Chain A
Amino acid sequence: MTSVISRRLFGACAAAAVLAAGAAAAQDTIKIGVITDKTGTAKFYAEPVTEGSMLAAKIINAAGGVLGKKIELLIEDDQNKPDVSATVARKLVDAGVVFILSNTSTTATQQQQTVSLETKTPQLTPSNSGETLTTQIDNPYFFQTGPLFSYQINTLLAYTRAKQFKRVALMTDNSELGQLVARSFKAGLEKAGVQVIVEEVVQRGATSAVPQMQKVRAANPEAIFQAGVLGPEMVLFFRAYHQLGMKTPILGSYNLSIPLYLTMAKDLMDGIVIVDAYDREKPEVKAFEEQFQKEYGRPAFNLNAYGYDGVRLIADAIKRAGSLDKEKIRAAMQATKDFPATIGAKGMKYTFPPGKRTGFDPEGVVVRLIENNAHGRVVHAGQK
């Protein structure tokens, strides 16, 4: 017993010594911590976001860096485990980062906030759209620029205003993210006076969505709002929809805008309306896609752009802060106004309104159709 204790004590002291040595080294780069998921269930959307972040850092450094220093991204894997996520956030803080960029899942980002609040380290999620990330706890160090679920549902409702839906179905899966989207969508629909007459869940690992779709068919809604996230389970949904010969219009969250769905649910998604925050016609996007192609040798898609914007926003805040003082950087981030976005509708700019820490322009969500197994044109933008 005592030998175990002393061994552990020794290990801890050794670790502390190493850490102190690290902190003593002169800071000649600007360290930004990136938390991503390299091994868990969020990997397929966290990693593309991180690729975009790395590209942005490279471009900024090639142009001379910020405040005369190069940006150094310290990338940590949280395995999409929220408790591990908070731990690696502390690791980054101890390593001297001036900002934490959270590219992982919403639940993990929420748990990291304990650390950013406690250590007064500014934190930004460029991609999470969780409705309550900035409201669940009052954390002045946390910022969010992902398109909130309420913006998404309101934009969809604006797009369909002429149709005046009164009774709709809501579909999701039992992943944490799917549940969060569904809850926000339901709140948004009810607020707009639309009744959710049937609410269905396709379970992770399911082999059929026929029972759920039969229920939807029996309830005969005017539209189906799609809040699901998990690829296989959503494909089950689309297949059952086609199998049962349904014609009810489907309106999807921005999760369906991940291009992977186009290959996973090939031939099943034509005519579906999705929200997205990406417009290929924008000059900013064209420039970004060119750079991305050059760097990675393959075309970019929307997720890459979220991470790209994240690092650009942080670099801009540091530049305006004029120092590496975390408090000044936080204040500068809060003061971000009209920063041109790669993400979002034409002309969209990031702004944190006073007292708010959500920087995505509520009018910046776009609606597009899926045509011929590809993301079609943008047919609507904004909540009006």
Chain B
Amino acid sequence: MTRAAPWLAAAAAMIAVAFLLKDFGYYSDQYRKLMLWVALALGFNFLFGIAGQVAFSHFAFYGIGAYAVVILTFKAGLPLGVAVVLGLALCAVLAIAVGIAATRLEGFYLALATMAFAQLFLVVLTEGGAVTGGAGGIANYRLPALELGGRRFTLTGPYYTSLIALVLLATFFVFWRLDRSYFGRACRAIRDNPEAAAAMGVDVARTKIVVFTVTSVLAGAAGMAYAFVDNIVNPPVFGLENVFLLLFMVIIGGSGRHAGAVVGAILLYMLPYVLTPLIGHHQALVFGIVMVAAMLFRPDGLVGVYDRLRARYGRGAA
């Protein structure tokens, strides 16, 4: 019971925010999209920061999830629940296929292969004709009404925001539990020294495939939530540019730490909105400078800065 308490409190707080913001379209929208970015950053952090895989396919899986749920529900006419399950299964199958192939690759070779996969996905989206809607994407759909105990209701406004909050928390929970398990330690061991990990009896290939699959499927789940935020899916959102942003988020926040992913995602998501009135439209320049500075002075990111401050000024001593 006590172990569940922080999670329940977090859920309550995040849902409370959703309802506090319900009259503010802009902030409510920001909150939703920010939570999705945080969910993606947590997954990317697990993949990159904890398991040491440099993969650029994270946004492709986000897109596969989004497109799959829309196409299966509105083009194939399946019930939403079935579409969600099938969509996640599709993500899993593709992720396992890419993951198995990826175990043969290391470091930036994996990056290139996943980058090629991401580009291939964009080509398929653009050339998909009526199925994917081509370059214009698919619009003109709404989240179908859910039936529960004979009553139909539609999740809108703060209720849908709350759903996204729950998706984020569930994502966080999965990664948090994984990280604290034998599996998480195996991932870190593989990241730091694959040979040593193998010698200690870790099944390196299987661990890598599982990490890639779990993070990709959860990215797909976030994508499904995204599909009903603006009720439109189109190719540019799932392009390569955003993956670099994700990488910057994780590193600036603190690679390998959940808190780092959260802080990095919040900071870099908000930065353009905050910076624009101050310095005009050159936020990417600031991102670059912060990234270089982070690598030079604090490779453990902002979370590392926080740890150090805490160690120096007391609370750590108690």
Contacts and interface: CB of A to CB of B under 8 A. Distances in A.
The reply, when asked whether chain A contacts chain B directly with Cβ atoms under 8 A, is yes
B75 interface: no
B309 to A, nearest CB: 14
A2 B282 CA distance: 33
Contacts of B17: 8-9, 12
Contact of B26 (A5, A80, A90): A90
A183 B134 contact: yes
B154 interface: no
B25 A136 contact: no
B9 A2 contact: yes
A77 interface: yes
A6 B12 CA distance: 11
Given A113-B139, A136-B139, A137-B139, A90 B235 contact: no
Contacts of B28: 90
Contacts of B90: none
Contacts of A115: 25, 230
A281 interface: no
A86 interface: yes
Contacts of B79: none
Contact of B281 (A19, A38, A177, A179): A38
A77 B273 CA distance: 10
B249 interface: no
B146 interface: no
Interface string A239-270: 00000000000000000000000000000000
A86 B29 contact: yes
A180 B235 CA distance: 12
A126 to B, nearest CB: 19
Interface in A1-36: 1-2, 4-6, 8-9, 12-13, 15-16, 19
B126 interface: yes
A79 interface: yes
Nearest to A135: B140
Nearest to B13: A5
Given A12-B20, A136-B136, A176 B13 contact: no
Interface residues of A, number: 46
Interface in B186-240: 226, 229-232, 234-237
Report whether over half of chain B's contact residues are helix, strand or loop; otherwise say mixed: helix
B133 to A, nearest CB: 8
Given A12-B20, A137-B140, A93 B14 contact: no
A107 B135 contact: yes
B172 to A, nearest CB: 8
A195 interface: no
A82 B136 contact: no
A222 to B, nearest CB: 26
A356 B283 CA distance: 40
Nearest to A20: B24
A110 B232 contact: yes
A204 to B, nearest CB: 11
B255 to A, nearest CB: 17
Nearest to A181: B135
B244 to A, nearest CB: 13
Contact of A176 (B31, B135, B276): B135
Contacts of A291: none
Interface stretch (B95-103, B106-114, B259-267, B289-297): B259-267
Given A5-B14, A12-B21, A77-B276, A87 B33 contact: yes
B6 A16 contact: no
Interface string B133-145: 0111101100000
A201 B28 CA distance: 40
Interface residues on B, range: 35 or more
Interface in A126-169: 130, 132, 136-138
Interface string B1-22: 0000010011001101100110
A180 to B, nearest CB: 5
Contact of A12 (B31, B139, B259): B31
Interface in A35-59: 38-39
B136 A90 contact: no
B135 A179 contact: yes
Contacts of A94: 24-27
Contacts of B9: 2, 5
A174 B134 CA distance: 11
A82 B231 CA distance: 12
A86 to B, nearest CB: 5
B136 A132 contact: yes
A13 B13 contact: no
Interface string A67-81: 000000000010111
B263 to A, nearest CB: 7
B195 to A, nearest CB: 35
Interface string A82-111: 110011001101100000000000110011
A111 B234 contact: yes
Q: B17, B21, B26, B281 — which one has the most chain A CB atoms within 10 A of its CB? A: B26
A114 interface: yes
A78 B272 CA distance: 10
B284 interface: yes
Contacts of A137: 139-140
Contacts of A19: 24, 26-27
Given A94-B24, A176-B236, A110 B136 contact: yes
5 contacts: A12-B20, A16-B21, A91-B26, A106-B136, A177-B135
Given A6-B13, A83-B33, A110-B139, 9 more contacts: A4-B263, A77-B281, A82-B230, A86-B29, A110-B137, A118-B25, A119-B25, A130-B136, A137-B140
